[in-house]
Structure 1
Amino acid sequence: MIEMDEIDRGLLRALAQDAGASAGALGRKFGLSQPAAWRRIKRLREAGVFTRVKLDLDREALGFGVTVFLGIKLATKGRVSLEDFERAVSAIPEVQTVEHVLGLYDYRLRVVARDIPDFERVLRRRIMTLPGVGNVEANVLLSEERLPGPL
Structure 2
Amino acid sequence: MIELDEIDRALLRALARDATQSASALGRRFGLSQPATWRRIRRLEEGGAISGRRLRLNAEALGFGVTVFLGIKLATRGRVSLEDFERAVSAIPEVQTVEHVLGLFDYRLRVVARDLPDFERVLRRRIMTLPGAGEVEANVLLSEERLPGPL
TM-score by length of 1: 0.98
5+ residue gaps in structure 1?
Answer: none
Distance 1:30 1:145 in 2: 30
* % identical equivalent positions: 83
Distance 1:16 1:59 in 2: 20
The C-alpha deviation readout for 1:14-58, integer Å capped at 9, x for no partner, is 000001000011111111111111110011001111121111111
Distance 1:110 1:12 in 2: 26
Quote how far apart the aligned CAs of 1:82 are.
Answer: 0.7
- Which residue does the alignment assign to 1:3? 3
Name the stretch that deviates more: 67-76 or 26-35: 26-35
Count the aligned residue pairs: 151
Amino acid at match of 1:87: R
The C-alpha deviation readout for 1:49-80, integer Å capped at 9, x for no partner, is 11211111111111011100000000111111
Residues 120-135 of structure 1: pairs in structure 2 closer than 5 A: 120-135=120-135
- Which residue does the alignment assign to 1:57? 57
Amino acid at match of 2:116: I
Quote how far apart the aligned CAs of 1:148 are.
Answer: 1.1
Residues 110-149 of structure 1: pairs in structure 2 closer than 5 A: 110-149=110-149
- Which residue does the alignment assign to 1:150? 150
Amino acid at match of 1:62: L
Distance 1:147 1:13 in 2: 14
TM-score by length of 2: 0.98
CA-based RMSD of the aligned residues comes to 0.7
